[in-house]
Structures are given as C-alpha cells and as structure tokens.
Amino acid sequence: MESLDMKSLAAAIAIAVGALGPGLGIGLLAAKAMEAIGRNPEAAPKIQTAMILAIAFAEAIAIYALVVALIIKFV
C-alpha cells in the first residue's frame, strides 16, 4: 500500500515539475510575440507562425512529462 502512495506522489511531482517549465516558456513566448507585433504590426504573420511552432515544441515537452508520470503511476 505504501508503494502505491509513493508512486502517486512521484507521478504528481513529475507532472508538476514537467508542466512548470513549458507553462512559463509559453507565457514568456506569447508575451514577447505580442510585444514584437506591437512594435512591428506588418510582421505579425511571420511572428505568429514562429510563435505557434515554438508553442507546439514547448507543449511536446509537457506531454513527455505526462507520459513519464503515467509510466511511474502504472508500472
């Protein structure tokens, strides 16, 4: 019974730490992209494309953390 509790705690810590970085990264990325678009509105399509691509990569890291948490929980 104790190992189940420790596994749950380990999974919770894995997803918490694994989601913290991408969450902060996406927030900073969006803030800087909005700042850049505000300074140069003509470049908005190029900035938006790069921003969406970078957000997708950051989300992939969060998904890796979720997979690790699920492996810890169920294996």
CATH of the domain at 33: 1.20.20.10
**Over the stretch 26-72, which tens digit does the pLDDT of each residue have?**
999 999 999 999 999 999 999 999 999 999 999 999 999 999 999 99
Question: What angle (nearest 5°) sits at the alpha carbon of residue 34, between those of residues 46 and 22?
Answer: 90
Q: Cα–Cα distance between 49 and 51 in angstroms, integer? A: 5
The helix/strand/coil state of 1 is coil
Residues 6+ apart with CB under 8 A from 1: none
pLDDT band at 2 (very low <50, low <70, confident <90, very high): low
Q: Which domain holds residue 70?
A: 2-74
Number of domains in the chain: 1
* Residue 50 confidence (pLDDT): 95
- What per-residue confidence (pLDDT) applies to 5? 84
pTM (global) more than 0.85: no
